[in-house]
Amino acid sequence: MGLIEEISEFLQKGRSKKIKELVQKALDENMDPKVILNEGLLSGMMIVGAKFKNNEVFVPEVLVAARAMNAGLALLEPKLAEVGNEPVGRAVIGTVQGDLHDIGKNLVGMMFKGAGFEVCDMGVDVGADAFIDRAEELGADVIGMSALLSTTMPQMQECIQRLEERGLREKYIVMIGGAPVTEDFAKEIGADYYTPDAASAAETARNAVMERKSA
């Protein structure tokens, strides 16, 4: 088995230590960090994501794989910056104003990274304009918002309205999620996508960004 395949295999098994070792080894052998990322880490993560979708593995498997990926990324990121790697896309995510629940949003961030995104996590209680300002600053492709309760869901609409007022609506893919959020609500407020879970959020975002970039 080649080193890259090995990285993908061990990532799927969630072996952080092994991943660190192998990524370091690959770097020492002067392998292209982009190849290590795309064909090693990200390909492994995609397989785990697909298995999760098919009920072949469960939440814990995804979590350990993502943790192993983070361990590998920590070593890889400086090198990726050196060679000027372009991520799949850039996403600004956060929990909306008035809302403090971040577990769902954190999972989305984790899965976005696993899909090759550069993620800016703005945390909780994030105002509509704060999302937009940061997205502008980073040249983001996606704005992802999370809300746990119906009392804070209107904040999502607020952000979309502000995007329109500022003439920026078409620039961003707006995605929303959270326990009370539904497909209908997304349509009602004019969001681009709603997904019921973190894994499908990452997949949807990746496809949407790639579609836009190829258009």
Partner 1 sequence: MKKITEFQIRISPDSVCSMLNADRSLLADEMREELEEMLSEAYERLEPAAYLGFGDTEGFLYGEDQLPGQEALYVICTVGERLSSWSSELFRQGDCVRAMLADAAADNCLFQLDGQLREQISALCREHGRGIRRRLEAPQDAPMRIQKKALDVTGAAQYGIGITEGFMYRPVKSVCQVYLLSENPEENNSEHDCSRCPNTSCRMRRSPGDVTEPSVTVITGEGQRTLPFVRGKIILEILRENGIYIAALCSGRGTCGKCRIRVTEGTLPVAAEDRLFFEEAELEAGFRLACTAFPEGACTVLIPDLAEEKEFYVPDIGGKETAADWPDRTQEGKGSEEAALKRDGRAAACEAAPGRGGGVNAGEYGIAVDIGTTTVAMQLIDLRSGKIMKAHTALNIQRMYGADVIGRIEAAVKGSAGELKECIRQVLQSGVDSLTEGGHVPVSRMVIGANTAMVHLLMGYPCESLGIFPFRTYNIQRIETAWDSLSGQKGLSFPVRICPGVSAYIGGDITSGLYALGFHERERVSVLIDLGTNGEMAVGNRERILAASAAAGPAFEGGNLACGTGSIPGAVCHAAWKDGTLCVETIGGEEPTGICGTGILEIIACLLEAELMDETGRLEEPYASEGFPVDEQGRIRVFQKDIREIQLAKAAVRAGLETLLDEYGTAIDEVDEIFLAGGFGYELDIGRAEAVGLLPAGCAGRVRAAGNTCLKGAAAGLLDGESGKTLDYIAGLVREIPLSGNPKFSELYMEYMCFGEEE
Stretch that binds partner 1, among 130-138, 142-150, 163-171, 188-196 (CB under 8 A): 142-150
How many residues can be counted in the chain?
Answer: 215
Torsion of CA 94, 97, 100, 101, to 10 degrees: -50
Tokens of residue 74, six digits? 């920590």
Question: Segment 42-71, which members bind partner 1 (CB under 8 A)?
Answer: 55, 57-61, 63-64, 66-67, 70-71
What does the alpha-carbon distance between residue 173 and residue 192 come to, in Å, rounded to a whole number?
Answer: 6
Of 24, 150, 182, 207, the residue at the interface with partner 1 (CB under 8 A) is 150
Query: Shortest Cβ distance from residue 156 to partner 1 (Å)?
Result: 12
Of 63 and 80, which CB lies nearer to partner 1 in the complex structure?
63
CA distance 23 to 35: 11
Sorted by sequence, the CB contacts under 8 Å of residue 171 that are 6+ apart come out as: 163
Total interface residues for partner 1 by CB under 8 A: 34
Select the residue interacting with partner 1 from 152, 173, 194, 206 (CB under 8 A). 152
Q: HEC profile for 118-149?
A: EEEECCCCECHHHHHHHHHHHCCCEEEEECCC
181 binds partner 1 (CB under 8 A): no
Tokens describing residue 139:
């040249």
Q: Which residues bind partner 1 (CB under 8 A)?
A: 14, 55, 57-61, 63-64, 66-67, 70-71, 73-74, 97-103, 106-107, 109-110, 123, 125, 148-152, 155
